Amino acid sequence: MKDRIKNAKGFLFDIDGVFTQSGKPLPGATYTINTLLSKRIPFRFLTNTTTKSRRTLHKELLKLEINCKEDDIFSAGYSGVNVIRNLGSPSCTLFISEDLKRDYSR
């Protein structure tokens, strides 16, 4: 396992339960991201949240001193945005949170 991590070209992390829990960073979260940033190793965050926009998730991570870009975050809600765009952006009625609608309006 150690060799697999040493030779990794990038990382994909879940947010809740891996980097944060109950709105607080988990031990080692900040150190891990800062280490990857300093070594220029790419990473992305995944989350199955369907109520928060990527902007909100990004602000929450930054508040916890977990440095990343908004484009580094992929949520279940944002996946829906991509599906609709790939379908040619048809007219839709969205039954989602007001916050998540931000991702659909871009």
pLDDT at 77: 87
What is the model's pTM? 0.84
Work out the average pLDDT over 35-39. Answer: 92
Alpha carbons 4 and 21: distance in angstroms, whole number: 26
Assess whether pLDDT exceeds 90 at residue 36.
Answer: yes
pLDDT at 4: 66
Alpha carbons 82 and 103: distance in angstroms, whole number: 10
What pLDDT digit, counting tens, does each position of 47-103 carry? 999 899 999 999 999 999 999 999 999 999 888 888 888 888 888 888 889 999 888
